Amino acid sequence: MSYTFQFGEVLRYWPLLVQGAINTLVFSVIAMVAGLAIGVVGASCRISSSRVLRAIAGAYVEVVRNTPLLVQLFLFYFGLPALGLRLSTSQAAILALTFNTGAYSTEIVRAGIESIHRSQIEASTSLGISRLQTFLHVVLPQGLERVYPALASQFVLMMLASSVVSAIGAEELTAYGNRIQSENFRAMEVFFVCAAVYLGLTYLMRVLLAAVAYVAFPRRRALGSV
């Protein structure tokens, strides 16, 4: 069987591919920032002295980690309208990605927080620093620094997993790829190009995350381990 590749039939749609790549990055960055914020709050609840907060955070983590992202996406897009809350495809996509990322970030951040030796907390207390200040200025920065590589890897995986939002018609790279191949019927070439774009986005995301680490963690920068 012979097959003639015709990538020109795909590359002439380059404006759609560029827009899809931009949308993928936008979805991913929003979900990354919001998911990290949820992760910090969730990790705080997971180590809280309150049994109620620990139970709520634990249930959230277990539900998200043991259900498919696609099902979570469908719940936001098809389920919420039944409760009177109708979302656009982009809104549902961002919420689902954030909801999912938040649970994984919760466990990663919790591991970082728990890795901080108790002596540092005791030293802060002896200096008259409040528990909140100790958490925000001593424990959390060091905890995030220690688990940053794991967080960065999780964010990259989330960006790649964002392709599932095309199932509800959210306009990201895979959705545009589907649209292109439905017009030119060159599925092989279309998804080869999409794969190449995802590789480029992955590299770009890693560079951006490394830049964030360079700015946020001076000690890692000094040690050359960003």
Q: What is the pLDDT of residue 1?
A: 59
Quote the distance between the C-alpha of residue 216 and its chain's center.
Answer: 18
Q: CATH topology for 15-223? A: MetI-like fold (1.10.3720)
What pTM value is reported for the model? 0.90
pLDDT in tens, the chain (226 residues): 577 888 888 999 999 999 999 999 999 999 999 999 999 999 999 999 899 999 999 999 999 999 999 999 999 999 998 888 999 999 999 999 999 999 999 999 999 999 888 877 778 777 777 787 888 778 888 999 999 999 999 999 999 999 999 999 999 999 999 999 999 888 999 999 999 999 999 999 999 999 999 888 876 655 555 5
Domain extent listing, the chain: 15-223
Specify the pLDDT at position 161: 95
Q: Which amino acid is at 121?
A: I
What pLDDT, on the 0 to 100 scale, is given for residue 53?
95
